[in-house]
């Protein structure tokens, strides 16, 4: 999966490294993240906000809703097969302090070392062709139930983890991970809908 600079990104660590390098000021904006990962790199772009919602950044008030909106728009455009990502200006300008952002990427690095040891290209047909659009549709569905769950402890982090796994499967061309991610996504949707629409 190519970045803005054309360098191939195929591991979780590489995506986190790109995130850590995003922007130059005291705050890191959504636009900075897009520039770091490349506006045509939908899988890394889908991975980025979901990873950040698994990190301590998820505790920032409003982060869950903002992250869910970014995930929803990226997933929708992935599902529609767009070649270049578009986000509205108010989302592009959303930002977080550099120090807090750095702590989030630092929190994610140890997990990346472990994850990168087990992911690899396999069953790659499940990450190509029509399948990325299926993954986009599932991630969109998860993102839509996330804002109402923001006050439920750990709910959005678990939902974001399912999105992150699905996006990482596309980054690494790991079809087995894609299957696991879809199962996790189904569980996240079942929980979310069960909470919002109790039977």
Residue pLDDT, tens place only, 85-144 = 999 999 999 998 999 999 999 999 999 999 999 999 999 999 999 999 999 999 999 999
* pLDDT of 30: 93
* pLDDT of 1: 47
- 53 near 156, Cβ under 8 Å? yes
Report the candidate in 75, 86, 79, 98 with the shortest Cα–Cα distance to residue 22: 98
Total count of domains within the chain: 1
In a domain, 168, yes or no: yes
In a domain, 49, yes or no: yes
Distance separating the N- and C-terminal Cα atoms of the chain? 42
Please return the burial class of 152, using the count of CB atoms within 10 Å of its CB with bins 0-12, 13-18 and 19+: middle
**For residue 114, how many other CB atoms are within 10 A of its CB?**
9
In a domain, 17, yes or no: yes
In a domain, 186, yes or no: yes
Domain enclosing residue 52, as ranges: 12-196
pTM of the complete model: 0.88
In a domain, 48, yes or no: yes
Q: Is 112 helix (H, G, I), strand (E, B) or coil?
A: helix
In a domain, 2, yes or no: no
In a domain, 30, yes or no: yes
In a domain, 4, yes or no: no
Is the pLDDT assigned to residue 60 strictly greater than 80? no
Is the pLDDT assigned to residue 25 strictly greater than 90? no
Question: Rounded distance, CA 111 to CA 56, Å?
Answer: 14
């Amino acid at each position: 999966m190519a970045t803005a600079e054309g360098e191939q990104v195929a591991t979780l660590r590489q995506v986190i490294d790109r995130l850590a390098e995003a922007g130059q000021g005291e705050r890191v904006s959504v636009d900075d993240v897009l520039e770091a990962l490349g506006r045509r790199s939908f899988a890394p772009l889908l991975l980025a906000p979901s990873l950040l919602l698994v990190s301590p950044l998820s505790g920032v008030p409003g982060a869950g809703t903002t992250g869910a909106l970014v995930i929803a728009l990226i997933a929708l455009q992935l599902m529609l097969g767009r070649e270049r990502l578009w986000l509205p200006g108010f989302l592009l300008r959303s930002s977080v302090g550099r120090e807090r952002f750095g702590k989030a990427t630092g929190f994610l690095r140890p997990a990346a070392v472990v994850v990168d040891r087990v992911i690899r290209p396999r069953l790659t047909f499940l990450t190509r062709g029509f399948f990325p659009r299926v993954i986009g549709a599932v991630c969109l569905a998860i993102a839509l139930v996330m804002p109402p769950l923001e006050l439920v402890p750990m709910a959005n982090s678990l939902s974001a983890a399912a999105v992150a796994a699905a996006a990482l499967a596309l980054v690494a061309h790991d079809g087995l991970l894609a299957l696991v991610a879809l199962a996790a996504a189904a569980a996240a949707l079942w929980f979310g809908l069960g909470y919002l629409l109790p039977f």
